[in-house]
Amino acid sequence: MDRAARAEYLQALGIDVWVPRAERAAWPSARAAVASADALEAASPPEAREATPPAPEAREPPPRAQEGQDPGGWAAERWEALRDEVLRCTRCALHATRTQGVLGVGNPRAEWMVIGEAPGAEEDRRGEPFVGRAGQLLDAMLRAIGLSRTQNVYIANVLKSRPPNNRDPRPEEVTACIPYLQRQIELVRPRLLLAVGRIAAQNLLGTEESLSRLRGRVYRFGELNTPLVVTYHPAYLLRNPADKRKAWEDLKFARSVFRQLTAGVPEDGNRS
Ligand code: URA
């Protein structure tokens, strides 16, 4: 992505940094955002910069199907069965209050998978994850690192049904629902998982550590040992815009991890 485009996306993400008053008028907004990003990098503590992240443990990546390969429509059938099950699911009490189950959205062959907490009111109504205000910010965050739900990322939640009044998921709801997410991961086979928010991160990692302590490290999730990194939930960032800078550090960290994982693989975010 060129600097101007990156700058535009950083602006959408709401990242800007103080620019001397004398310079402000002379700075087209996109250039100011580039300066902001550069200034952020310069001001960040060294460990937070996009330097080489700790190498994800060397393991054979899971085998990935090639474009156009789905012998006998195996994957298509499994997706259809999964969607059908989620729509008819009564494994927990949330089925009684939801409008519909919300499976996921995006490229089912994406190399990046974003995992949130649970559908909110708008998602419950429309049947798609992250379509409310938080979803718009998530899209801007993803665009800032060259990702888009229409092209090269798949988005899902830990829970497929909306908890009433957006309360936190209960442990029994997570236990009932997580096999759906595991099946999604097995079908998409992403190279990297990005858990957004404390609730998603804690439930995926089986920990009660705070989000600030979970950031900046590479974990492994599930049977496929898929690398996982953590960042803030966009709804949290809407309430706490000052932390958008840290989210930007997390996104750069995730991008570095991804680049390490795929070194030598063409980088459009999709399988070749
Ligand atoms: N928050 C989430 O965690 N997921 C959504 O789909 C929407 C809001």
pLDDT at 139 over 50: yes
259-264 average pLDDT score: 91
Per-residue confidence at 40, pLDDT binned at 50, 70, 90? very low
User: 198 in a domain, yes or no?
Assistant: yes
136-147 average pLDDT score: 98
Atom of ligand 1 nearest to the CA of 157: 4
User: 137 in a domain, yes or no?
Assistant: yes
- Please give the distance, rounded to the nearest whole angstrom, from the Cα atom of residue 266 to the centre of ligand 1: 30
CA pair distance 58, 47, nearest whole angstrom: 22
Helices and strands (H and E) in the chain: how many = 11, 6
- Please give the distance, rounded to the nearest whole angstrom, from the Cα atom of residue 157 to the centre of ligand 1: 7
CA pair distance 52, 62, nearest whole angstrom: 23
pLDDT at 30 over 50: no
- Please give the distance, rounded to the nearest whole angstrom, from the Cα atom of residue 24 to the centre of ligand 1: 36
Atom of ligand 1 nearest to the CA of 122: 7
pLDDT higher at 261 or 72: 261
Atom of ligand 1 nearest to the CA of 196: 3
pLDDT higher at 41 or 159: 159
* pLDDT at residue 72, as a whole number: 73
Q: What is the CATH number of the domain that holds 139?
A: 3.40.470.10
- Residue linked to tokens 């936190």: 168
Atom of ligand 1 nearest to the CA of 155: 6
User: 30 in a domain, yes or no?
Assistant: no
| Number of domains composing the chain | 1
Taking the CA atoms of residue 239, residue 241, residue 244 and residue 245 in that order, the dihedral angle to the nearest 10 degrees is: -150
How many Cα atoms are found within 13 Å in the side-chain-facing hemisphere of 98? 26
- Please give the distance, rounded to the nearest whole angstrom, from the Cα atom of residue 121 to the centre of ligand 1: 9
- Please give the distance, rounded to the nearest whole angstrom, from the Cα atom of residue 119 to the centre of ligand 1: 5
Nearest CA to ligand 1 atom 7: 130
Answer whether 0.85 is exceeded by the pTM. Answer: no
User: 31 in a domain, yes or no?
Assistant: no
Residues with CB under 6 A from ligand 1: 116-120, 123, 129-130, 134, 157, 235
Of 34-43, 244-253, 257-266, which range is least confident?
34-43
The answer to whether 187 and 85 have CB atoms below 8 angstroms apart is no
- Please give the distance, rounded to the nearest whole angstrom, from the Cα atom of residue 199 to the centre of ligand 1: 11
Atom of ligand 1 nearest to the CA of 128: 6
User: 50 in a domain, yes or no?
Assistant: no
User: 48 in a domain, yes or no?
Assistant: no
pLDDT at 133 over 60: yes
Residue ranges making up the domain that contains 250: 3-15+72-261
- DSSP secondary structure of 193-214: EEEESHHHHHHHHT----HHHH
User: 88 in a domain, yes or no?
Assistant: yes
User: 43 in a domain, yes or no?
Assistant: no
